[in-house]
Amino acid sequence: MQIKIFYISVHDNGAMQEEMNIFLRTHKVIRIVDKEHVDSEGFMFWSFRIWYIEGDKMLSAEEATRQMLKGKYKEDIEQMKKNLDDKQKEIFEQLRVRRQKIADEDAIQQNYNIFSDKELLIMATLPELTLKAIMDNPEIKKERKDKYAKRLVENLENLEFRM
């Protein structure tokens, strides 16, 4: 990943903007770090700091941010998975199966809209996987807990890996 800084005068006739646009069209933008109006001794300009990867695909700022966060999220998830013991891994996999069942029953295409992998990993590491423990955990989104937690933990006592 590299960084490029552009300064565009507020009095630009379009040439500086076109230079930046050409750059954006020929590089894969990861993130536009900041843009600010600067007044330095009477010279007024906009400053753009751009993180990018060499390539020929331009991403919108929204898409670049989404991909950056997705990469960070994926790293976090992988690290959390590595920290699980065998019992927690089994619980996590069973929760994933239950999440998919709920998604199928409710015709929800992206099962992570039920609970994200991160939320399931948090549940798998709870000292006791109960409805109360899930509802009391602030790291799990309230809307998801209210809507799906009860169904997710139904009949847990029948699962071999519990207690």
The closest of 128, 126, 98, 129 to 114, measured between CA atoms, is 98
Calpha distance 95→112 (Å, rounded): 12
- Counting the structural domains of the chain, the total is 2
Per-residue pLDDT tens digits for 23-55: 887 787 888 866 667 676 777 788 888 888 765
| 61, 96: one domain | no
Q: Is the pLDDT of residue 138 over 70?
A: yes
Report which secondary-structure segment, H or E, holds 5.
strand 2-9
- Containing structural domain, residue 25: 2-71
Question: Is 143 found in the same domain as 94?
Answer: yes
Q: What is the pLDDT of residues 75-102, one digit of tens each?
A: 888 888 999 999 999 999 999 999 999 9
| Same domain, yes or no: 67 and 88 | no
Q: Taking the model in full, what pTM does it have?
A: 0.57
What is the spatial distance between Cα 32 and Cα 3, in angstroms, rounded to a whole number? 9
Domain end (from 71, 93, 121): 71
Question: Do 113 and 54 belong to one domain?
Answer: no
Asked if residue 7 has pLDDT above 90, the reply is: no
The SS3 assignment for 100 reads helix
Distance CA 5, CA 36 (A): 12
